[in-house]
Amino acid sequence: MIKTSVFYPSGRGKLDLDYYMNKHIPLCLKLLGPYGLIRIGVDKGIDSPEGAAPYVVIAHLVFESAEQMQKGMEAHDPELAADVKNYTDIQPIFQISEVLSG
C-alpha cells in the first residue's frame, strides 16, 4: 500500500476545517476512489512537546498501489488543486510513503 500525506503547516495562513472535512475530503473520495483509494484519515494538530502543533491538519490518503495513485492524480489533480483555494491559503507539504504496518 501507498500513503500520500498532506501536511498543512501551522501559522502560515487560514484553513476552513468545516469545508475541508465536508466538501474537499468527499471530493477526494469520489474522484480517487475508482483509482484504488482505500481510505482517508485526517488529523487535527492540537499540541506538541515543544508547544504549538507544527501542523494544523495532516491528511493521509491510502491507496492500493503507487501506480493507481499516480493514475488517479494524473486524472484529477487539476480539479482537486482548484478546490484548495476554497478552504486554505496554506502551501501544503506532500510526502508519499510505502505503508509497512497499520
- State pLDDT tens for residues 2-16: 999 999 999 999 999
What is the fold of 2-98?
A: Alpha-Beta Plaits (3.30.70)
Alpha-carbon gap, residue 67 to 12, rounded angstroms: 32
Residue 50 pLDDT greater than 90, yes or no = no
Distance CA 95, CA 5 (A): 5
pLDDT at position 17 over 90: yes
pTM: 0.93
Give how far the C-alpha of residue 92 lies from the chain's centroid of Cα atoms, to the nearest Å.
9
* For range 26-50, the mean pLDDT: 96
To which H or E segment does residue 72 belong? helix 66-83
Q: Give residue limits of the domains in the chain.
A: 2-98
